[in-house]
């Protein structure tokens, strides 16, 4: 059974198409990632799926429930957490959990049990009477996730859950997501961080309201990039970029670490030949090449290639 299925879902704000008709499905138990620049339509899509925003046209089913016809029912079966820290800062840990359990109508005895186990898992047992605003960032994030999961939804929507969280906390947070997958919970997540998205089963790349590509991370890397990814270092990156792009043999050149990634136009020639070609073009333009090697394409390469620019990141 599919956790989410979307058919030609579209959202317009006046004349502006925030989401052009998109169709996709999410399998039960999957971690499904939404990758895209700000304004690509990720949040709008999620909001439509959560029953917050009525679509202009198209259909969507979440847990088999028609979102357009029955948004209220959908809300009962989903969890949601957004980039904004969504707990009440002026309530204690315990009070927040009581509250979110209560508005979801969880019977009290059951709620108390769940809260106990959550406090156990998050190591917040001693801090249950602390105001939430006094918790360190990572704890807050995990607590917010626990609160969103209190009513045991089958699917959870996470809208940039780790924006502005430090790397260590992010890692802990993702462990929790993987744990949910093990419990069979479907996770629908949007993110900016490539390393995070790598952990998804499948990724939809959104660009300008459309899904530009949708596949597993491994397949995306294989299928999207037309040529080889070559890492090189040159003392004059901008001149090198111009020269390579002008040659027509390379489709993208982007700064990466101390050097740059260049994507060749095709894979007709082997990897070694591609490197040679790169060196030739640069030397012909009187540019130095310090170091060059073939790299496995990463998601960042895929993303940059599809979206067509780093600036929008």
CB of 125 to other proteins, least distance (A): 20
Q: 128 and 134 in contact (C-beta within 8 Å)?
A: no
CB of 11 to other proteins, least distance (A): 11
Between 26 and 263, whose beta carbon lies closer to other proteins?
A: 26
CB of 99 to other proteins, least distance (A): 4
Between 147 and 281, whose beta carbon lies closer to other proteins?
A: 147
Q: Which residues bind to other proteins, rule: CB under 8 A?
A: 50-54, 72-73, 75-76, 78, 80-82, 84-91, 95, 98-105, 148, 157
Between 122 and 132, whose beta carbon lies closer to other proteins?
A: 132
The number of beta carbons lying within 10 Å of the beta carbon of residue 50 is: 21
The number of beta carbons lying within 10 Å of the beta carbon of residue 291 is: 10
CB of 163 to other proteins, least distance (A): 12
Between 78 and 119, whose beta carbon lies closer to other proteins?
A: 78
Q: Give me the sheet containing 57-62, strands edge to edge.
A: 16-27, 2-13, 57-62, 65-66
What are the tokens at 43? 């949040």
* Whole-Å CA distances, 74 to 71, 80, 313: 5, 11, 32
CB of 148 to other proteins, least distance (A): 8
For residue 155, the cross-strand partners are 78, 186
Burial of 176 (0-12, 13-18, 19+ CB in 10 A): middle
End-to-end CA distance of the chain: 35
Between 95 and 198, whose beta carbon lies closer to other proteins?
A: 95
């Amino acid at each position: 059974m599919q956790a989410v299925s979307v058919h030609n879902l579209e959202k317009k704000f006046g004349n502006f198409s925030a989401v052009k008709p998109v169709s996709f499905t999410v399998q039960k138990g999957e971690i499904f990632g939404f990758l895209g620049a700000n304004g690509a339509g990720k949040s709008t899509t999620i909001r439509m799926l959560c029953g917050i925003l009525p679509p202009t046209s198209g259909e969507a089913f979440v847990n088999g429930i028609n979102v357009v016809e029955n948004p209220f029912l959908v809300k009962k079966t989903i969890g949601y957490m957004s980039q904004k820290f969504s707990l009440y800062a002026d309530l204690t840990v315990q009070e927040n959990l009581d509250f979110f359990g209560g508005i979801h109508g969880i019977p009290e005895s059951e709620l108390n049990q769940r809260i106990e186990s959550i406090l156990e898992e998050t190591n917040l047992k001693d801090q249950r009477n602390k105001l939430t605003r006094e918790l360190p960032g990572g704890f807050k994030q995990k607590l917010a996730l626990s609160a969103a999961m209190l009513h045991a939804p089958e699917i959870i929507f996470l809208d940039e859950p780790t924006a502005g969280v430090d790397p260590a906390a992010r890692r802990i947070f993702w462990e929790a997501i993987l744990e949910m997958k093990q419990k069979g919970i479907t996770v629908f997540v949007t993110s900016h961080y490539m390393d995070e998205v790598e952990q998804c089963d499948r990724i939809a790349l959104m660009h300008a309201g459309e899904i530009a590509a949708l596949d597993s991370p491994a397949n995306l890397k294989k299928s999207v990039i037309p040529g080889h990814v070559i890492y090189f270092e040159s003392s004059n990156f901008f001149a090198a970029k111009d020269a390579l792009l002008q040659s027509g043999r390379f489709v993208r050149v982007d700064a990466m670490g101390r050097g740059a990634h260049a994507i060749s136009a095709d894979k007709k020639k082997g990897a070694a030949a591609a490197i040679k070609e790169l060196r030739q073009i640069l030397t012909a333009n009187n540019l130095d090449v310090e170091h060059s090697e073939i790299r496995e394409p990463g998601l960042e390469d895929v993303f940059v290639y599809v979206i067509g620019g780093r600036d929008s990141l």
